[in-house]
Amino acid sequence: EGFALRIVEGDVPPPLKGVAIHTLDLGLLQAGAGIKGEFENRLKSVIDEVKASPVPIILFIDEAHTLIGAGGAAGSGDAANLLKPALARGELRTIAATTWSEYKKYFEKDAALARRFQLVQVEGPDEEKAVVMMRAIAPFLENHHKVMITDEALIDAVRLSHRYLTARQLPDKAVSVLDTSCARVAIGRNISPAAVEAASRQIGRIEREMKILQREALVGFEHSERLAGLEKEKEETQKRLDKLNEKWQKEMDIAMRIKDARQEIQDIHEKDPSGSDLAKKQYELKELEKELAKAQGDSPLVRIAVDPDIVSEVISGWTGIPTGRMLTDEISTVLNMGKLLGERIIGQDHALDAIARMIQTAHAGIEDPSKPTAVFMFVGPSGVGKTETALALSELLYGGEDNVISINMSEYQEAHTVSGLKGSPPGYVGYGEGGVLTEAVRKRPYSVVLLDEVEKAHPDVMELFYQVFDKGTLEDGEGRRIDFKNTVIILTSNLGTDLIMKTCADEETMPDWQGLSEMVRPELLKRFKPAFLGRLKVVPYYPITDSIMRLIIKLKLNRI
């Protein structure tokens, strides 16, 4: 379409001026062509018409791989073979488009067809170019949804989609995010906010339960205490609903006044850009926006424009990562990582400091962004908090313990079990079902990958992770590249447990964590290659002492 616009504007070399671009619809050509030779006749007619046209024509064929096999078996009378003579003689100027995977699978295998086209790989734009493209697209979205899009929202749509939606390409994913954000703002003006609907549903649920209990009470069941509790809950919910409705109505009134004020400013600007009325209306608009911000507080029910908060909410809904983790809370969480982990993990301050430093380094952009956020090996006796640390990290970084991908490596003691992690190759049983590790990370690219009891896995299985630690990617059995760059990978091991227990038997003489790490390293080298250990951070865990145990018990009891 961009090429067609440039032809219309005349911004092309002389040979292309006055050229017409037409789309070749193979589906339409095939429709109803049930008799052999009918499709071929239609396609020949199209080719002849293009050749005879007084206006030079360029044919555009989308999904070009469908040429192969269209209208006949591949290699016989299909569309590709019918087009080859005209393409070879230069009588048919054609632009074909397809994806790289389909080009490799279908197009490239037909060398005679492939060499008649000049291959041009279209790469996705970087963030800076994508923002420029989005600024051109935004007016169309604003006009369609009748909403205003702030420039900050445009930038965040590109930045957050590029960071969190790794399976899709720019600018497509940024457009989808912005389109959904616009729809959410537009719909929000005409329907009840989620908080109001939730309160209404809760009242309905309470009333239904009360009705059942009252019916049972008539025939002798004792529900007086429960009914009293439900009545109180209903009153409280009704009060909350009334407040929400009042707040919603107030916000709606101000929002409509802001909308009218913006339209008036646009009208005045078109008539008299330098008039005094314009400045007056702009001042009134700012006052209305302040009034709305005061009425909204921290939990707005009505949105007047597409802003970064809405964009963040949309991506949060798509990825499952809480909104706060994407904006200001993320910085606060990372900066206070050690302290926040210490509220849950007792007696391992050295480990938490080392973990926090690596996470902070990664988020500061000092580390290679293509690698995983961090790779740790937790070494120590069972029950000292290694797995609990992984759960706490997932809670802080990714919003919940559900984002831990836990794999027991003792199940991979044979070399052939590596296919269980990445998926079976073509021709083997299980091909297409995906691997335990690759499928989990593909579905949840923002997660903590916990490889438990890693010393029990076969060495060939562990070699799979060299590429993950180095490049941040892993190719699964179907040839898809799985992105690990947004994961925190944690390996746990009980190697050196006896040495750690013996060395730390006396609290007064036990070494610091760096000394303990050096003592454990020879034990790890007996099982793992130096190249493997060099790609991760070894974090030793101290045994639990009696005083630490008392603190842990107290922490657990407080949770109960």
Tens place of pLDDT for every residue, the chain, 560 residues? 777 888 887 888 888 888 888 888 887 877 777 677 777 788 888 888 888 888 888 888 888 888 776 655 444 457 788 888 888 888 788 888 888 888 888 888 888 888 888 888 888 888 999 999 999 999 999 999 989 999 999 999 998 888 888 778 889 999 999 999 999 999 988 888 888 999 999 999 999 999 999 999 888 888 889 999 999 999 999 999 999 999 999 988 988 888 888 888 888 877 777 767 777 888 888 888 888 888 888 788 888 889 888 998 898 888 776 655 455 566 677 778 878 888 888 878 888 888 888 888 887 777 777 888 889 998 888 888 888 888 988 888 887 788 899 999 999 988 888 888 888 777 777 777 778 899 888 888 888 999 998 999 998 888 889 989 988 888 888 888 888 888 899 999 988 888 877 877 776 677 777 777 788 888 888 888 888 888 898 888 888 777 777 877 887 787 77
Measure the CA angle with vertex 486, ends 483 and 490; round to 5°. 100
Q: Is residue 120 part of a domain?
A: no
Q: Is residue 313 part of a domain?
A: no
Beta bridge pairs of residue 488? 374, 448
Tell whether 455 and 488 lie within a shared domain.
yes
Tell whether 297 and 384 lie within a shared domain.
no
The domain of 11 spans 2-114
Q: Can you give the pTM of this predicted structure?
A: 0.73
CA distances 329 to 25, 290, 293, Å, are: 51, 24, 21
Q: What is the dihedral of CA 296, 301, 302, 303, to 10 degrees?
A: 80
Q: What are phi and psi of 6, to 5 degrees?
A: -65, -35
Q: Is residue 242 part of a domain?
A: yes
Tell whether 211 and 174 lie within a shared domain.
no
CA distances 143 to 132, 158, 184, 304, 436, Å, are: 18, 20, 15, 15, 45
Measure the CA angle with vertex 374, ends 369 and 378; round to 5°. 170
Peptide bond connecting 193 to the previous residue in cis, omega within 30 degrees of 0? no
Q: What is the dihedral of CA 136, 142, 148, 149, to 10 degrees?
A: -40
Tell whether 44 and 143 lie within a shared domain.
no
Q: How many domains does the chain have?
A: 4
CA distances 280 to 150, 181, 266, 277, 429, Å, are: 22, 31, 13, 5, 74
CATH number (domain holding residue 439): 3.40.50.300
Tell whether 280 and 347 lie within a shared domain.
no
Tell whether 140 and 68 lie within a shared domain.
no
